[in-house]
Amino acid sequence: MTGDSMSDRRRMVVTKVGDLAIVKFSDRKIVDSANIEEMGEEMFSIVDKDKCKDVLLNFEGVEFMSSAALNKLILMDKRVKGVQGKLRLCNLRAEILEVFTITRLNRVFDIKKTEAEALKAFGISI
């Protein structure tokens, strides 16, 4: 899949496919407070600066995430909804998916098992 890589970020790699921004996280463990703050700012800038409305967060390779990271995802979801966009998540490890279920955040977020399923939901076929 080809796409345009978007501006330099430290906590993630962002690739654009059409109007969709696909995020892949750089950290296996999203737990450090400073890194989580940076992750939040970098995610928000996808909407605020890069003006992307549709965003896919691909958690492939992410082994651990604290509730502070979940908070950033909630804020990102609100930001995307604020511009009438759509946020989806994919490739969540089973233990992390369990946390979304325990917290009922699986009712807030649209979670797909694979990137292919998520892209299909965005109307993109590969």
Residues at the site binding another protein, with contacts judged by CB under 8 A? 31-33, 64, 66-68, 70-71, 74-75, 77-78, 94-95, 98-99, 102-105, 107-108
Residue closer to another protein by CB (options 5, 84) is: 84
Closest CA to 73 of 38, 19, 109: 109
Backbone angles phi, psi at 13, to 5 degrees: -115, 130
Closest CA to 42 of 20, 81, 4, 75: 75
Rounded to a whole number of angstroms, the minimum distance from the CB of residue 52 to another protein is 21
Rounded to a whole number of angstroms, the minimum distance from the CB of residue 2 to another protein is 35
Rounded to a whole number of angstroms, the minimum distance from the CB of residue 4 to another protein is 32
Alpha-carbon distance of 89 to 74, in angstroms, equals 12
